[in-house]
Structure formats: C-alpha cells, structure tokens
Amino acid sequence: MKMSETELMLKGYGLTTAEMFYHMPDYRNVLNTFVWQDYDLAPDHPRLFKFIEFWRDTIEGPLHSVRFTHRKMIAPGAWRNVTGELTLH
C-alpha cells in the first residue's frame, strides 16, 4: 500500500527537486535538462540516488551534472488534528 503525501511528510520526508543536465545521445556537445521531483529523506536522499543509478544504467544520454534542492513541507510537530471549527461573524 502506497502512503499518501501527508503520511510521507509526517514521517520526515520532504519534497526533493532535481535538475539533471545531460548530453544529448546524438549530439554530445548539446546539453539538455530534465526535472525530477519526489518525496525523499534528507540528507541521504535514497530515492534521488536510486533514480540517478537508473538513469546511468538505462538512459543513453550521459549525465553532465545534477543540481537539487530539498524542502520539508511540514514536520511532525507542525501538524495537528482539528476536530471542529468555529466561525464568528
């Protein structure tokens, strides 16, 4: 069963965005970019490195460089369950 995004964030995952610069297979002097996003754990980033390994093994365009950022959207202490709502006019 796949966890929801909220469950991932509560377990410490944050949104990781990576921009891959790679050489075009037919034109080695031309660089192209690919943007990848997924929820990942900092500082090890296992999902990002698994994707980079997949790229190296499967994709013909060799990687030139990878630039990434990681942001935790919420932390376990920043979320609370609200059981009701009161509206005042």
Q: Any bridge partners for residue 40, and if so which?
A: 14
Question: Which residues are CB-contacts of 30 (< 8 A; sequence separation ≥ 6)?
Answer: 23, 24
How would residue 89 be classed by pLDDT, with cut points 50, 70 and 90? low
Mean predicted lDDT score pLDDT of the chain: 87
- Written as six digits, the tokens of 72 are 């935790």
- Rounded Cα distance, 6 and 73, in Å: 9
Question: Which residues are CB-contacts of 76 (< 8 A; sequence separation ≥ 6)?
Answer: 10, 11, 12
Percent of residues, the chain, with pLDDT higher than 70: 87
For residue 16, what are the CA distances in angstroms to 1, 7, 28?
Answer: 22, 16, 28
How would residue 77 be classed by pLDDT, with cut points 50, 70 and 90? low
16 with 40: CB under 8 angstroms? yes
